[in-house]
Structure 1
Amino acid sequence: MSDNIVVVGGGAAGISAVEALRREGFTGRLALVAGEPGPPVDRPPLSKQVLSGQWPLERARLRADADFEALDVAVVRDRATGLDLDGRRLLLEDADPLPYDGLVVATGVTPLRLPFGHDLAGVHVLRGAHDVAGLRESLATARHLVVVGAGFLGTEVAATAAGLGHRVTVVDLLPLPLVAQLGETVAGRVAQLHRDRGVELRTGVGVSGFVASDGRVSGVALTDGTVLEAECVLVAIGSRPAVDWLRSSGLDLADGVVCDRFCRAAPGVYAAGDVASWPNPRFGRRMRVEHRGNAGEQGQAAAVNLLHGDTTSFSPLPYFWTDQYDVKIQAYGLLGADAEVEVVDGSPEGSAFVALYRVGGRLTGALAWNAFKPLRRYRGELAALPFPTEGAVV
């Protein structure tokens, strides 16, 4: 058994890992390296309850200092800058290297940025506590918010801002919001939901630049020649795994930290959460999942396999949700733009429905629009499906 374990990343996956290690009986030295300033926060509420002012930021805090003290976890407020695999040392920005017998990498993702404009006041990304504070401050005096990117984060912020009475325009290169994640049938319903609440959707067009006045954004220039007046801009064009600090480590970093089915990336090194890429035996497919539920589950799985020696394949049935206005969208499994979609309960024109997703005739996912109770049945069907044969790709 390892005597000294280090977990890198103070988000949901990292916290889940340290808690699982103690719960599983690990009594050695345990350190959590949390490079972000301030307390760890749960990210889903940032774009909704915290941004709207319904919750104080403190309510979104994942754990208090006393929780880590109770677990006898040393919280290291420093940034990881490198990894010495042979010497089993974690390199830090402002402190001596941390030796480890076992390591869990849970550094998550970082927001993608446009190649221009992020030095302007009023231009924001949204990832942590500092970001949501800045966005709230800008919205307090803004007449018009432009959201660049119509994925989950962009549409959630658009819904929150529209609910607060702001004029909101969403810009995206794709023809419908969330079409890459949910397919055309459900994405069309999402688009109508936003239009019904007064949000302007500018789809099939990109952003070519920003207009500025005295160092502050005053407009957004689109690739079709249009200029949108805007005092506040959220750039929500996606994210990338936070692995720059591992470039010289020797780990395989193709789309995150590449792991096996036990979340193992190298001897004594495991990965979990948004940063981890692993082959999910349930689907016969390598995946990297950026959803809150997966972070907690994979943090626990990585910790257990590190501690007990690769005993259990990590084969979850992915789950996600998004809250927009008075609608809750929940889904299990794999969806995607290429799947065949069948509405089996209700209608997309109504207030509630369930849609099933199939790839090659095989059920891969189920989505509920304000209809969680009937979704439970399909969750059971998905969970009961046999795993693909070894080597099969769904």
Structure 2
Amino acid sequence: MAQIDLRRKLSVLADAAKYDASCASSGTSKRDSSNGKGIGSTEGMGICHAYTPDGRCVSLLKVLLTNFCIYDCAYCINRASSNVERARFSVDEVVELTLNFYRRNYIEGLFLSSGIIRSGDYTMEQLVLVARKLREEHDFRGYIHLKLIPEADPRLIEEAGLYADRLSANIELPRDEALERLAPQKSVGVIKKAMSQVRRRGEEAKPEKRDRKRPPKFAPAGQSTQLIIGADGAPDTEILDRSASLYGGYGLRRVYYSAFSPIPDASSTLPLSKPPLMREHRLYQADWLMRFYGFSTPEIGEATKDGMLDLAIDPKLAWALNSRALFPVDVNRAPREMLLRVPGLGVKSVDRIISIRRWRTLRLEDVARLCRGIDKVRPFITALDWSPGGLTDAIDLRQRLTPEPKPVQLSLF
């Protein structure tokens, strides 16, 4: 292959990395460089590549080491049989790009993944070498997220966790049989084994209060994974069940959902069209309900049709409309877990309500000041001066709370 310049490599390999959604930096510990030593920081604002749960925007250089790959996963644009432009960075090129982009204030960290070249061990060695050089030779204090090659030697995974803030190994598909069929060179068991190793080492790295000597940090921002949506026939409830088991079994910080995107020269076993992006959005909302609002997957599933989330309304509102016998709730007396189930009330709003009601009885206008919009909240609560009456059970309540569809410009051609 003819040599291509660094700018072209960056264009090819940054574009190839866009299909991996699992690159956020929430939960990382600070590697502070405010003392004038070291390069980079995990704090601050920059290019909007990823958001942390507290709203900070974290800029990441998100690239592949290479899009050459010896695997032939049917759903992957970079599979061995794919007719795409190929490129490969050297280890030093990724290191220099990261440092140069940081010095220009374009990024605050690196997300590095790769196609499989030669073998899993060789590829993982190259990824770890990038992180090691950044940390040890350049004293880089910014955020590093490394994609694991699950079949690599456990010693390489161990080393990766010593240099990276976060690690991720993608489960890829909700159904095990689909992964075996569409990616025969990958093994669900091997992926889960690598995830188990990361969880175990992360737990070992947590210091006990009585420990005088703290153990070395290991992937302090934890691990994440990605599920591709719409490449197999799994309904949303099955996807959420899989996510719940991953959170519980491997202590994941995040499960990311990526809508399947048809690729050139695709296998006949794949769908011809991509799922609506709103489906991906609803899965993220449902995932949030499980993680922060106390919802179980069966509860979310109660408001689905044939296992699919309602695309017209968010899953919390869908559940509330399906569970009207539990409403309205009194904002001055209801427990926190019930207030969290009121449509339109977020975690911060609920915590403010609980804090303020210790000192005075809340009116509807008080609730309105504590949430983003009162229209969705009003039918499901009572306050000192408010009762929804028959509004909670109104036949047309869904219609009232469903946003009007945006007008579409018609084409004459």
- Give the TM-score, by structure 2 length: 0.23
Q: Answer with 1 or 2: which has the greater Rg.
A: 2
Larger helix fraction of residues: 2
Larger strand fraction of residues: 1
